[in-house]
Chain A
């Protein structure tokens, strides 16, 4: 009981320390639980939405597809509804048509584009339970005939569509059509339009079939049963009536499929975010470990006193564990609350962006609470356990003597036991390659690392320090060279990264002393001065920008003052710290960093992890861009690229664009491209492959994939071009055949007409457009390329192309170099998303730097008082602490960048050549990261430095 009181008192006394430690865990738990609550809410929203989208009817008739996307399925023949209507027990049938990328044009000619998809459907005029509710505004009526359309009420309001006016609408097959808007409607719910970010237009059924499905049929036919009819019996009866290739399914099946579709996306999103959550938690673990180690070092006399007064080692460990437990519980409770808040905020944000339903819903799955608690409390306890075990070894003598240090005790050397443990560790590491399960790798790799570390430390402590790095490197090399599945390789990469981080952390105390001595010198200070000058110039520029913007009547520009102030503050800190490089306070700063190499190393380690990941991402992105640039230079032969350019793989536009472009005098050879994720299934191994469809005969002149061999005589509708890897995997050569099944269940034998080496743009397989048209119902183009005709300048061709695409405002015409810039921009955008997420890990690492500095300021109170007494000014004191922050951060930054380059190289080596075949290390960018780390160190040191400079000299000298 007394010890519990002591634990509580320790926390109450050291609120600042407790707060910072808790904050680190809190942020990790908040992010994790926020991800769960948010993705659960997405699932539940989409679950409801699926129920809204698919409702009212009992059965549906549709094409049977063995795999692939339903949108690309063959249409249901036009006579099916009549046949189904004849079946006993059927009350009504409603054929349905749906097509994406059906966009109405506003009065000013701009596309009324949705945040989500733009969808075209048919008016459900035969349905007793239509999902479309006509707006009761006195003017709206359902569309009738080929000259009319309706749209959802929110889209109409947003883009100022007026009922009664005529508008142009992009169709799938007929290009632009001009129709009269005859009404607006609400989807699924007459009160509230249930379209999450989508915009909807509706035509009468016959018009929809012709505009959206090229007159070929319906997407499905829904069936409403008579009261009391037996669904199974009716279903069987309908089934008997249907021609080959159609199937009958129940409403439940459709709702489930719809939900599954959504959930697949949500799950991927969730995994992606959880990866970042783990990074954050890993960084938090380092901070907790560090804090508890330092704190026990500081409390060593007190712990010694406890021992002298009769506390057992167990009890001493208990007080430390108790403190960790409290930190963990408080952080977890606050973190879960914060996570719920975060989820609510994200929902609000999505609703504001028109991408989600109004009103916040926060599903609290027990899983969220259990996992958050296990993670939050588990990580805190796990990180504090080592320091706590050390605490029990504090001797009672510590209370009586001044010079006791917490030393890592010498492990008795027992080579036999050690050897056995190492053998177990190696076995654990080896076993994971035999059992091909990624979950086991996550479990076995760290276990192997611990076993090998503990084992080697029984043989030789120095050897033990190298053990984790060695194991991590071996795993990395195995991941690189062995022929393993993608998920195994990725897990192995992650596990090896984790173990290498631990390995470097074991080794970096050996590095910290010389590194701190090397970093804490004039050159660093001079660089900080230059950085400060640059930031100062940037501040001025921002200030000028703000003033001019405000003067030009953009009052919101005043908000620019926030980044201006931030940059200015960083500039001040950077310039201010310069004198430390030349004075004794700088010497003291580097001596302090070198004094406790272990602490400096593990503080730096937290920062190292964040920067390693950011740097690895930078190396991968730079290599990706280099690959793109290379490919685009080598293989892009066409002069013009016409596409939506927004990176959405499903964005497509009417095939009329290509037809119209081909009519121009200024262009020759217009080529269309379409892509399917699940294009066909190779019948011998039942594997489903993606494929591009293009005009094979002209491909070389547009997108040259660098053919190893191309036999033009083999080209034709059933010809295919394949990447050399795909060819070699299947031992195919020119003239080889490939039997594949398409989504419409037809089987074709394709002939390999060409083998190429560059998969960056084309992917691994290309089939002929003619074959596509025969097999897929989706006929819109995703991409069109064209050559300039002889004798026309770029501007002339551009204005000619613009006359065609002007009706498709979402479609852009780009030259080769514009296309190239666009592609690179997309890589950059992706990198920004990654960096923003990793920034949170770095922010937490900075809390760690601040915490360590604050603790070491506290630890050195008397020393600081002394130097103040003999004439160190408050400003020199602040510079000293800040310079130490810079030293620690630069050390972590440099380690992180170096490791990041290694991981980046590994990732580039693992990623298939079809994505990345060039290696590029962005030296400038990585250098910038180190500079940013230095600035971050300055910011982290701000409060500890302030605290140090405000110490009362007399009290400090008297401080025990």
Chain B
């Protein structure tokens, strides 16, 4: 599975790697008196085949954690792994290839290239890699997102919910090891948001994908299999199979 510069993390043994892992991950912005510690020695793992949520209030470091784990940003200290690959040892070019092949992204907004049609957006990572999907996976993804009749439309001709479904479709298309979703429902009304979250649940359950979602919305976190809570750059708590109410309660207790 790990085709890209495999470097086994210490102590991993022969057990299958977690989909993503951070070890002592710290991120400091600025220096001296003005230094801000966005991440403070975070250790966290995300298992394959699960839908995980990273929760936390604004400024808790949840987005920074996601950016670093996805190879978009680099750490000040510590290591992050995607599968067996140590991201901190990769060059910018290798990181790009890793993102293309092993990582999928769903952003809050502006997820699609406006000049490309829905289907062109979905196949963008594949096309960039010069690959064609011939094993029926792409058909399966397209079937799942359920936009067969709108595939040749430009993003501007799609609703916000439809656009996010296309974005999830794009994240799935390259069959990545892990998908990172950054507030994927932040710009949607609650009905469209629920649809997307159900769709992501479905992708994990039926297609065996791994999704890590950053959100501050307890309702969204309620759709996940596991919620990790961040505060002041540290992992402060965790819930397995959370409900929206449980998440809300936990957040309140953390806020106190």
**Contact indicator B113/A866 (Cβ below 8 Å):** yes
A872 interface residue per 8 A CB criterion? yes
Complex: chain A residue closest to B174, CB-CB: A871
A205 interface residue per 8 A CB criterion? no
B120 interface residue per 8 A CB criterion? yes
State whether A863 and B114 are in contact (beta carbons under 8 Å apart), knowing that A584-B124, A870-B105, A957-B107 are contacts in the complex.
Answer: yes
| Beta-carbon contacts under 8 Å, B28-79 to A | 67, 72-73
**Contact indicator A874/B93 (Cβ below 8 Å):** yes
| Beta-carbon contacts under 8 Å, A860-885 to B | 862-863, 866-874, 876
**Contact indicator A870/B92 (Cβ below 8 Å):** no
How far is it, in angstroms, between the C-alpha of A874 and the C-alpha of B100 when the chains are bound? 12
**Contact indicator B128/A876 (Cβ below 8 Å):** yes
Complex: chain A residue closest to B68, CB-CB: A954
| Beta-carbon contacts under 8 Å, B118-135 to A | 120, 123-125, 127-130
How far is it, in angstroms, between the C-alpha of A954 and the C-alpha of B73 when the chains are bound? 7
**Shortest CB distance B174–A (Å):** 8
Complex: chain B residue closest to A868, CB-CB: B96
**Contact indicator B115/A871 (Cβ below 8 Å):** no
**Contact indicator A866/B120 (Cβ below 8 Å):** no
**Contact indicator A871/B107 (Cβ below 8 Å):** no
**Contact indicator B127/A870 (Cβ below 8 Å):** no
A676 interface residue per 8 A CB criterion? no
Which residues of A sit under 8 angstroms from B97, Cβ to Cβ?
Answer: 871, 873
**Contact indicator A592/B115 (Cβ below 8 Å):** yes
B194 interface residue per 8 A CB criterion? no
B144 interface residue per 8 A CB criterion? no
Which residues of A sit under 8 angstroms from B113, Cβ to Cβ?
Answer: 588, 863, 866-867
How far is it, in angstroms, between the C-alpha of A591 and the C-alpha of B101 when the chains are bound? 25
**Contact indicator A873/B124 (Cβ below 8 Å):** no
A583 interface residue per 8 A CB criterion? yes
**Contact indicator A873/B115 (Cβ below 8 Å):** no
Q: Chain B 137-179, CB within 8 Å of chain A: the 1/0 string? A: 0000000000000000000000000000000001000100000
**Contact indicator A871/B116 (Cβ below 8 Å):** no
How far is it, in angstroms, between the C-alpha of A859 and the C-alpha of B20 when the chains are bound? 34
Complex: chain A residue closest to B110, CB-CB: A862
How far is it, in angstroms, between the C-alpha of A595 and the C-alpha of B115 when the chains are bound? 7
**Contact indicator A871/B120 (Cβ below 8 Å):** no
Which residues of A sit under 8 angstroms from B107, Cβ to Cβ?
Answer: 866, 869, 957
Which residues of B sit under 8 angstroms from A584, Cβ to Cβ?
Answer: 116, 120, 123-124, 127-128
**Shortest CB distance A597–B (Å):** 13
**Shortest CB distance B107–A (Å):** 7
**Contact indicator B99/A869 (Cβ below 8 Å):** yes
How far is it, in angstroms, between the C-alpha of A587 and the C-alpha of B73 when the chains are bound? 28
A308 interface residue per 8 A CB criterion? no
Complex: chain A residue closest to B64, CB-CB: A954
A654 interface residue per 8 A CB criterion? no
**Contact indicator A872/B130 (Cβ below 8 Å):** no
A32 interface residue per 8 A CB criterion? no
Choose among A594, A866, A871, A953 the residue that contacts B128 (Cβ–Cβ < 8 A): A871
**Contact indicator A591/B124 (Cβ below 8 Å):** no
Which residues of B sit under 8 angstroms from A863, Cβ to Cβ?
Answer: 110, 113-114
Which residues of B sit under 8 angstroms from A862, Cβ to Cβ?
Answer: 110
**Contact indicator A867/B110 (Cβ below 8 Å):** no
B192 interface residue per 8 A CB criterion? no
A170 interface residue per 8 A CB criterion? no
How far is it, in angstroms, between the C-alpha of A876 and the C-alpha of B127 when the chains are bound? 11
Choose among A585, A588, A871 the residue that contacts B101 (Cβ–Cβ < 8 A): A871
Which residues of A sit under 8 angstroms from B96, Cβ to Cβ?
Answer: 868, 871-874
**Contact indicator A591/B129 (Cβ below 8 Å):** no
**Shortest CB distance A298–B (Å):** 16
How far is it, in angstroms, between the C-alpha of A595 and the C-alpha of B111 when the chains are bound? 18
Which residues of A sit under 8 angstroms from B174, Cβ to Cβ?
Answer: 871
**Shortest CB distance B51–A (Å):** 20
Q: Considering only CB atoms and an 8 Å cut-off, how many residues of chain B contact the other chain?
A: 30
Which residues of A sit under 8 angstroms from B116, Cβ to Cβ?
Answer: 584, 587-588, 591
**Shortest CB distance A301–B (Å):** 15
How far is it, in angstroms, between the C-alpha of A155 and the C-alpha of B211 when the chains are bound? 89
Q: Considering only CB atoms and an 8 Å cut-off, how many residues of chain A contact the other chain?
A: 24
Choose among B93, B101, B110, B130 the residue that contacts A866 (Cβ–Cβ < 8 A): B110
**Shortest CB distance B9–A (Å):** 24
Which residues of A sit under 8 angstroms from B114, Cβ to Cβ?
Answer: 595, 863
How far is it, in angstroms, between the C-alpha of A583 and the C-alpha of B129 when the chains are bound? 9
How far is it, in angstroms, between the C-alpha of A957 and the C-alpha of B116 when the chains are bound? 18
**Shortest CB distance B120–A (Å):** 7
Which residues of A sit under 8 angstroms from B101, Cβ to Cβ?
Answer: 871
Which residues of B sit under 8 angstroms from A866, Cβ to Cβ?
Answer: 107, 110-113
Which residues of B sit under 8 angstroms from A870, Cβ to Cβ?
Answer: 99-100, 104-105, 124-125, 128, 170
| Beta-carbon contacts under 8 Å, A586-603 to B | 587-588, 591-592, 594-595
**Contact indicator A871/B92 (Cβ below 8 Å):** no
Which residues of B sit under 8 angstroms from A583, Cβ to Cβ?
Answer: 127-128, 130
**Shortest CB distance B172–A (Å):** 12
Which residues of B sit under 8 angstroms from A872, Cβ to Cβ?
Answer: 96, 100, 128
Choose among A587, A588, A873, A954 the residue that contacts B72 (Cβ–Cβ < 8 A): A954
Which residues of B sit under 8 angstroms from A588, Cβ to Cβ?
Answer: 113, 115-116
Q: Chain B 80-111, CB within 8 Å of chain A: the 1/0 string? A: 00000000000011001101110011010011
**Shortest CB distance B67–A (Å):** 6
Choose among B93, B105, B123, B127 the residue that contacts A873 (Cβ–Cβ < 8 A): B93
Complex: chain A residue closest to B112, CB-CB: A866
Choose among B67, B92, B93, B120 the residue that contacts A954 (Cβ–Cβ < 8 A): B67
Q: Chain A 172-193, CB within 8 Å of chain B: the 1/0 string? A: 0000000000000000000000
**Shortest CB distance A878–B (Å):** 12
| Beta-carbon contacts under 8 Å, B163-203 to A | 170, 174
Which residues of B sit under 8 angstroms from A585, Cβ to Cβ?
Answer: 128
**Contact indicator B115/A869 (Cβ below 8 Å):** no
**Shortest CB distance B195–A (Å):** 22
Which residues of A sit under 8 angstroms from B112, Cβ to Cβ?
Answer: 866
State whether A587 and B99 are in contact (beta carbons under 8 Å apart), knowing that A863-B110, A873-B93, A954-B72 are contacts in the complex.
Answer: no
**Contact indicator B125/A591 (Cβ below 8 Å):** no
Which residues of B sit under 8 angstroms from A594, Cβ to Cβ?
Answer: 115
How far is it, in angstroms, between the C-alpha of A595 and the C-alpha of B128 when the chains are bound? 21
How far is it, in angstroms, between the C-alpha of A845 and the C-alpha of B97 when the chains are bound? 37
**Shortest CB distance A556–B (Å):** 41
Which residues of B sit under 8 angstroms from A587, Cβ to Cβ?
Answer: 116, 120, 127
**Contact indicator B130/A869 (Cβ below 8 Å):** no
How far is it, in angstroms, between the C-alpha of A874 and the C-alpha of B218 when the chains are bound? 37
Complex: chain B residue closest to A590, CB-CB: B115
How far is it, in angstroms, between the C-alpha of A588 and the C-alpha of B93 when the chains are bound? 21
Which residues of A sit under 8 angstroms from B170, Cβ to Cβ?
Answer: 870
Complex: chain A residue closest to B156, CB-CB: A403
How far is it, in angstroms, between the C-alpha of A874 and the C-alpha of B93 when the chains are bound? 7
Complex: chain B residue closest to A592, CB-CB: B115
Complex: chain A residue closest to B123, CB-CB: A584
**Shortest CB distance B135–A (Å):** 19
Which residues of B sit under 8 angstroms from A868, Cβ to Cβ?
Answer: 96
How far is it, in angstroms, between the C-alpha of A957 and the C-alpha of B92 when the chains are bound? 17
**Contact indicator B100/A871 (Cβ below 8 Å):** yes
| Beta-carbon contacts under 8 Å, B194-216 to A | none
If A584-B127, A867-B113, A873-B100 are given as contacts, then 11 extra A-B residue pairs at C-beta distance below 8 Å, sorted by A number, are A595-B114, A866-B113, A869-B72, A869-B105, A871-B100, A871-B101, A871-B125, A871-B129, A873-B93, A873-B128, A954-B67
Chain B residues engaging chain A, CB cutoff 8 angstroms: 67, 72-73, 92-93, 96-97, 99-101, 104-105, 107, 110-116, 120, 123-125, 127-130, 170, 174
A-B contact pairs, 16 of them (CB 8 A): A583-B128, A583-B130, A584-B124, A588-B115, A591-B115, A592-B115, A595-B114, A595-B115, A863-B114, A866-B111, A870-B104, A870-B105, A873-B97, A873-B100, A874-B92, A954-B72
A-B pairs, 6 with minimum CB distance: A871-B100, A591-B115, A584-B127, A871-B125, A873-B96, A871-B99
